[in-house]
Amino acid sequence: MSFAEYPQLVIFLSIYVFVVGIFGGSFLSVVGIRLPRGMSIVHPRSHCDACGRPLAFYELIPIFSYGVMRGACRTCGVRIPARYIIFEVLAGALALYTLWHEPTWSLRISWWLLWSLLLVTSQTDLEAMIVPNVISYPSAALFLMISVVLHTRTISSAIMGMAVGFLLIAGIHILSKGKMGLGDAKLYLSIGAVLGPYETLFSLIAASMLGTVIGYTLRYLGRLKPRQAIPFVPFISGGVLLTSLIGKLVINWYFHLLHVPLQ
């Protein structure tokens, strides 16, 4: 399908994907917050964390409800973390970005699922500094299967990506005496299956650089104690986004450099 031939369809599809992305992000946010607490995803109904009051339907509409409630619970006045609305907007933006950026539906599906995984695990990591095994193991199997079934990647490339991601982080985990969690390594099984070995490596380097720059900035600003650990999944997600944006370009450029015969 060529987008350029159907401008109305493109506008409709873009709005649809953005809105679905926002609602999806809102749901993934709830999953990411409830999972580490051992709560069910569907029960109890969404409620204020501070006073326990169940939320009315109009308080559950992403972004809109944040505006209506002016960022605080109407009953107890406790502020709703800005992180929730940032997640919703981000999810919508990533859904739209993927629609435009990826050339085939197979790749779009695979990336939408990967962003969903990264949004949930960013939330669990921010909430409780964990990447739950109940998410990372089934995801790894799912993404390997997707690569094969949707032909987004050869099976050997997917498995090599998984191995590179897992082994590098597991290595850092051992060298850093556990400062880098094994949960991140298990998460990289899924990322590796989507990205393949070279882009996996690129995304890890990008994530480390982002983590270093932002970590030092937060420490400098006094927002972080000297030895305080920071959740790494948001940085991994940032690294994956950078990979999607410029990974292929940088990798091709690098290999081009290597292939230039030495004088």
Binding footprint of Zn ion on the chain (CB under 5 A): 48, 50-51, 73, 75-76
**C-beta closer to Zn ion: residue 85 or 90:** 85
Specify burial of residue 186 (Cβ count, 10 A radius: 0-12, 13-18, 19+).
buried
Residue 29 is encoded by which pair of tokens? Answer: 């946010």
**C-beta closer to Zn ion: residue 75 or 154:** 75
Closest approach of Cβ 52 to Zn ion, in Å?
Answer: 7
Closest approach of Cβ 30 to Zn ion, in Å?
Answer: 16
Closest approach of Cβ 211 to Zn ion, in Å?
Answer: 34
Give CA separation, 212 vs 190, 200, 217, 232, 235, in Å.
Answer: 23, 18, 8, 10, 9
**C-beta closer to Zn ion: residue 77 or 171:** 77
Closest approach of Cβ 57 to Zn ion, in Å?
Answer: 17
**C-beta closer to Zn ion: residue 55 or 214:** 55
Closest approach of Cβ 35 to Zn ion, in Å?
Answer: 22
3-state secondary structure 230-254: CCCHHHHHHHHHHHHHHHHHHHHHH
Closest approach of Cβ 81 to Zn ion, in Å?
Answer: 13
**C-beta closer to Zn ion: residue 85 or 162:** 85
**C-beta closer to Zn ion: residue 49 or 137:** 49
- Cα 238 to Cα 230: distance, rounded to the nearest angstrom: 14
Break the chain down into helix, strand, coil percent, rounded to 5. Answer: 70, 0, 25
Mark residue 13 as left, alpha or beta (left: phi above 0; alpha: psi -120 to 50; beta: remaining).
alpha
Q: What interhelical angle do 133-149 and 182-220 show, nearest 10?
A: 110
